[in-house]
Chains A and B, each alone.
Chain A
Amino acid sequence: MFLVAVILILQEILEAALLLSVLLAVNQQMGPHLAGTRKLTLHWYAAAIVTGIFGAALFAWAMPTVSEWFDYAGQEVINALMHLVVIGGLYTHCLLLQTNARQTPGPHIGAGVALIVVITLSITREGAEIFLYINGIMGTPTAVTPALLGAGLAGGIGISAGILLYYSLVGFSRVVTLRIGLVLLALFAGNMAAQTILLLTQADWMPYTPQLWDTTGLLTEYSVTGQLLYALIGYEATPSLAQAVSYVAAMLLLASTPLFRQSWR
């Protein structure tokens, strides 16, 4: 039970932790470059994490009802919607960081709100499963302690991975940090788009499209590296045509913001 809890919870936490680190690193390095602007303070991130945890609890509580919507497609549809809002939020965040910097000095209220939306929904989606799992475990008294210990360990590993990524990113020069950070954000948006397609296909709201390739032999999705890459950039061993197309489209959407054309020098 201990190991199951570690793996399960780590899978859920990792994506949000890594995203948070990249956003933090990008924002942190953005500030000094853009004269007269202020960085988003850590309060924004803290607020986003708190609302995300509440969102996750709420989503878990509503899950039995949501599941039955649209002839049992409710979970996929709501999840897909959250993925799309995350893409929109990332796009808005990147757009406003730049626009705001060019015009008025001061804190990026719009960019901050977009950041809160992105982080809140990322935690809501993944966190709901943790709440459901822990709640289910509560019915088996002997399993509670190992599961909670596992959850604690997974939380520790997830947060450590996030911290490690953050410091690896800010360890580079500012130009390099921003370049890598922005590319990671674009890949993350692609990941969200591909997951949306997968969810809608699973619910039969979208037609099946053929599988493009199979890299299971090279790197399985359930290996540690596979899981890490899945969380960071949405690694998929057997992507479908629609997944690949949507991945590229969302990547290009983010790359179309002026932020990606900055020289940062």
Chain B
Amino acid sequence: MKRFRSLLFPMLIATSARAAAPELTLVIRDHLFFPSTLEVPAGQKVRILIDNQDPTPEEFESYPLNREKVIPGNTKTVVFIGPLEPGEYPFFGEFYPKTAQGKVVVK
């Protein structure tokens, strides 16, 4: 039953989620993410504006979120995530993974 609900719940959301999704900003500077933890409400689609202030490109990547997007140096981009269930979803910068680490915390 729990499994069925977890399938149905997002489906109901999907029909109404076209309404403006809340937006969060993620800055890349010196190959680091600011903030490194993004708090996101559960069960809601969120628009993340990624502002790469480094002159070098970076790739926002997350396996649990199924997201992957290149952000050329000194440009902005947008990635939509969710709706998600509560939990932690790590992401990283594929071009500079040693420093560019962060996570989405869904509450």
Q: Is the interface on chain A under 10, 10 to 19, 20 to 34, or 35 or more residues? A: 35 or more
User: Which listed residue (B55, B59, B98) contacts A139, Cβ 8 A?
Assistant: B55
- Proximity bits, B43-67, A CB within 8 Å = 1, else 0: 0010101000001110100011011
- Given the interface contacts A63-B70, A75-B70, A139-B56, does A208 sit within 8 Å of B83 by beta carbon? yes
Main secondary structure of the interface of A (DSSP, over half): helix
A44 within 8 A of B: no
- Proximity bits, A203-231, B CB within 8 Å = 1, else 0: 11001111100001000111000000000
How many A-B contacts at CB < 8 Å in the complex? 87
Rounded to whole angstroms, the CA-CA distance of A75 and B77 in the bound complex is 9
B82–A208 CB distance below 8 A:
yes
Residues from 42 to 63 in A contacting B, C-beta threshold 8 Å: 63
Closest to A222 in B: B63
Nearest chain B CB to A179 CB, angstrom units: 32
A75–B69 CB distance below 8 A:
yes
Closest to A221 in B: B63
A136–B45 CB distance below 8 A:
no
Nearest chain A CB to B62 CB, angstrom units: 11
A100 within 8 A of B: no
Query: Which residues of B are interface residues toward A (Cβ below 8 A)?
Result: 6-8, 10-11, 13-15, 17-18, 21, 45, 47, 49, 55-57, 59, 63-64, 66-67, 69-73, 75-80, 82-83, 94-98
The 9 closest A-B pairs by CB, nearest first: A136-B56, A72-B78, A64-B72, A204-B80, A132-B57, A207-B14, A210-B10, A208-B14, A136-B57
